[in-house]
Structure 1
């Protein structure tokens, strides 16, 4: 069995080089003030979509983009686990984690119900719900494998999360002077309500170092829930598929997303082994480069017609739920923190 199962090696290399270039360029663009809120991963996705305007290049690159979107995604999620410092989370107390469990549980349920009421496809509704409720694009990509989502659905969910995350980051920063919160409280609200890690850091940063630290802790508490949510949803999808097929005689198997286990193991290694902790910044940077390649690969395969046709209803539902999660985070901070 070949590690890289490509029929045309030259075209496969073109796909690898193009997605790597998109990831590096996306990372560089994300460092610019006006684009920092959009984020590295979404910019890599957009660059991949732009490449589609050259049909000849796109056709050659697609030799390897399926492999990159699948395997590189899992490798990137595992490496992303090094970003999650369990020592910091535990030393900060369980209050942020308890709040995160409450927020994620309520908001995934609400996002899904609202999307379905708007007649959004079941899988797209789950992806959007997890992206809004957990950690943006990384959550969408992490969950997509567990529920066997199509590339177009993943791209649309990522686009919705990116748009709303940026808009609501600006809204919460604007509201800061009127909330009456301390810097630490404002950071917690940002971490509990905003979509991407970059969004939480940007909003928390407006409240200084204390706000940034509080935002990161609250946000990482939500990130920690990515693995159990992927397991729960994967199990639910397997049960749903089994019930729909009517094959009740076959032994039910729980689909375990092993790369999510790798995510947790990486978190533990980076948190508790001092020698590895020194390399954590490099490993996290590598994670984002690899995930950026996976996002670019998705962009190279996206069906623009599906996005234009299906985008309005899930976006409408996500706007409503983004308002709810911000209100819920405000209530939690006011009551518990």
Structure 2
């Protein structure tokens, strides 16, 4: 039953929280993904992962992910984003688009299979494994297709926590410039916080707002892919062979929605945060729920990763991931100097 897998994801989230508490430099969501990846490699646990735990882990990776993405919208205020100024907003949007389409092109160019190029591009351009989970729900990606992009974006985001601070002073960046660079170039929100906080509270504030501006791009990207998938999908037909929408047809099937429900919910939460004054206690409680849901979802995604297969067949994917990581870091650095 699904409840066993959900319970396992909940217990794993508690463990990840403990790891984050003991080592604050490791973001909670990163710890959850890494824990899922570790669990997925243990032969003794694989029968359970493929058997009684599978329905619940799949539910966590898909449904809980979508709820978490909806609640993520409450972190975003259009007022805070507008305060960045038109130049910073424009460069941030360009960074997302150039990274997304550049990574997508490279992934297809080197021959990555199935939906991997799209999922890698989404994760590296927007907000890491959370974005991958959101996009996979639109394109109906299989768990194995999702596993490699999740592993890559987690690896590169974790590397960023250690590498970017080493380049802070050699590049001659001020505290605020460093925060801008981190927000524009690091993948997951938690990884942004872990990286930017070493430069102080002002740098962290800039990093978070720039990062959340990138998160806002998840909605148009997912909606755009949904429209593309809808147009590409053949017209659904009834068992009698009638095209749905014709007088003789019955509603036996549907094309993918133009705007997925969870994306609409995400945008609605952004508007709520912008125009409705919510008490800090309410926002803190919702943030806790959102964090737990995403941690459970990312643990579920992590359990589908098989490192042996990634090492054996994922050389091209690793190359694309590293290239995308370098691309967004360089674009973000250029935006810092322009702004």
Matched, 1:271 2:274: yes
- Tell me how far apart the structure 1 counterparts of residues 130 and 216 of structure 2 sit (CA, whole Å): 12
Identify if the C-alpha distance between structure 1 residues 257 and 277 changes in structure 2 by more than 3 Å, giving closer, same or farther: farther
C-alpha change, 1:177 and 1:23, in structure 2 (3 Å) is same
2:97 matched residue in structure 1: 105
Partner of 1:132: 124
Residue 189 (structure 1) shift? 1.1
Structure 2: 5+ residue stretches without partners: 236-240, 246-254
Q: Could you say if the C-alpha distance between residues 232 and 163 of structure 1 is closer, same or farther in structure 2, counting changes exceeding 3 Å?
A: same
The partner residue of 2:330 within 319, 324, 327 is: 327
Residue in structure 1 matching 2:7, options 14, 17, 20: 17
CA contact 2:72–2:266 (8 Å) conserved in 1: yes
The verdict on how the C-alpha distance between 1:150 and 1:284 changes in structure 2, with shifts beyond 3 A counting, is same
| Secondary structure of 2:160 counterpart | helix
Moved more, 68-77 or 132-141: 68-77
Which position in structure 2 is the counterpart of 1:6?
A: none
Q: Which residue of 2 aligns with 1:298?
A: 301
**TM-score where L is the length of structure 1:** 0.86
Alpha-carbon spacing, 1:178–1:308, altered in 2? closer, same or farther (3 Å): closer
Structure 2: distance between partners of 1:253 and 1:55: 33
Q: Choose which of 216, 232, 242 in structure 1 pairs with 2:208.
A: 216
SS, match of residue 127 in structure 2: helix
In the alignment, the residues of structure 2 paired with residue 292 and residue 131 of structure 1 have an alpha-carbon distance, to the nearest angstrom, of 16
Root-mean-square deviation (Å): 2.5
Q: Quote how far apart the aligned CAs of 1:22 are.
A: 1.0
Aligned to 1:5: none
User: Which aligned pairs between 1:126-275 and structure 2 lie closer than 5 A?
Assistant: 126-242=118-234, 254-275=257-278
Q: Which residue matches 1:30?
A: 20
Q: What secondary structure sits across from 1:278 in the alignment?
A: helix
In the TM superposition, residue 12 of structure 1 has moved relative to its aligned partner by: 3.1
1:245-275 Cα deviation digits (max 9, x unpaired): xx9x877775321101111212222333223
Whole-angstrom distance in 2 between the partners of 1:34 and 1:280 = 22
Cα gap change, 1:56/1:164 in structure 2, threshold over 3 Å: closer, same or farther?
A: closer
Alpha carbons 1:22, 1:48 under 8 Å: kept = no
The number of equivalent residue pairs is 322
Cα separation, 2, equivalents of 1:273 and 1:165: 33
Specify every segment of 5 or more residues in structure 1 that has no aligned partner in the other structure, as ranges. Answer: 1-10
SS class of match (1:178): coil
